[in-house]
Amino acid sequence: MNPRRPPVPTDTTLGELRAAGWRSRTVKEELRATLLERVRSGQPFMPGILGYDDTVLPQLENAILAGQDVILLGERGQAKSRIARGLVGLLDPWLPYVAGTELHDDPFHPVSPLARSIVEAEGDATPIAWWAAADRFSEKLATPDISIADLIGEVDPVKVAEGRYLSDELTIHYGLLPRTHRGIFSLNELPDLAERIQVGLLNVMEERDVQVRGYRVRLELDLFVIASANPEDYTSRGRIITPLKDRFGAQIRTHYPEEASTEIAIMEAESTGFDDGDEGASVPVQVPGFMKEVVAELSQLARRSSEVSQRSGVSVRVTIANHETLAAAALKRAVRLGEPAAAPRISDLPAVVASTAGKIELETLGDETREDRVVEKLVARAVVNVFNRHFALSELLPLIERFEESGLEAEVGELVPSRAHGELAASVPELRAAIARLDAGESPAGVASAAEFVLEGLHLNRRLNKERRGGRVRYAR
Cβ(63)–Cβ(90) below 8 Å: no
Q: Which residues contact 476 (CB under 8 A, 6 or more apart)?
A: 403, 407, 408, 409, 410, 464, 465, 467
Q: What is the CATH number of domain 12-253?
A: 3.40.50.300
Predicted pLDDT at 280? 45
Q: Could you tell me the pLDDT band of residue 211, with boundaries at 50, 70 and 90?
A: low
DSSP 304: T
Q: Tell me, what's the pLDDT at 1?
A: 37
Checking DSSP bridges between strand 70-73 and strand 250-253, what pairing results, if any? parallel
Distance CA 378, CA 456 (A): 15
Alpha helices in 194-310 (DSSP H): 195-206, 231, 242-247, 260-270, 277-281, 289-302
pLDDT of res. 112: 85
- Measured distance CA(389)–CA(222) in Å, rounded: 53
- CA separation for the pair 425, 418 (Å, rounded): 11
d(CA 191, CA 335): 48
CB of 113 closer than 8 Å to CB of 164: no
Let me know: does 28 contact 182? Beta carbons within 8 Å.
no
**Nearest alpha carbon to residue 82 among 263, 235, 228:** 228
**Structure pTM?**
0.84
- What's the distance, CA 396 to chain centroid? 40
User: Which is more confident, 405 or 274?
Assistant: 405
Coil vs helix vs strand at 233: helix
- Which residues, in sequence order, are bridge partners of residue 132? 94
For the chain, give the percent of residues with pLDDT over 70.
88
Q: Contact at 8 Å (CB) between 318 and 359? A: yes
| pLDDT at residue 231 is higher than 90 | no
Residue 463: CB partners within 8 Å, gap ≥ 6?
393, 396, 400
94-123 pLDDT, tens digit per residue, is 999 999 998 999 999 998 888 999 999 999
Question: What value does the mean pLDDT take over residues 457-473?
Answer: 91
Q: Find, among 83, 448, 16, 42, the residue nearest to 252 by Cα.
A: 83
Residue-wise pLDDT for 68-94, tens only, equals 999 999 988 899 999 999 999 999 999
Query: With bands split at pLDDT 50, 70 and 90, how would you rate the model's confidence at 357?
Result: confident
Between CA 315 and CA 303 the distance in angstroms is: 9
* Number of Cα atoms under 13 Å in the Cβ half of residue 147: 8
**Does pLDDT of 35 surpass 90?**
yes
Alpha helices (runs of H) in 66-185, residue ranges in sequence order: 80-86, 113-122, 148-151, 157-161, 176-179
258 three-state secondary structure: coil
Q: Report how far Cα 14 is from the mean position of its chain's Cα atoms.
A: 41
Q: What is the pLDDT of residues 393-409, one digit of tens each?
A: 999 999 999 998 888 89
The least confident of 278-282, 283-287, 362-366 is 278-282
Q: How confident is the model at residue 220 (pLDDT cuts 50, 70, 90)?
A: confident
In the chain, where the domains are located: 12-253, 260-476
When pLDDT is cut at 50, 70 and 90, the band that residue 2 belongs to is very low
Nearest to 223 by CA among 179, 176, 182: 182
* The pLDDT value given to residue 3: 44
Interval 441-455 mean pLDDT = 94
pLDDT-based confidence at 166, cuts 50/70/90?
A: very low
Residues 378 and 297: their CA atoms lie apart, in Å, by 9
Distance of alpha carbon 5 from alpha carbon 256, whole angstroms: 37
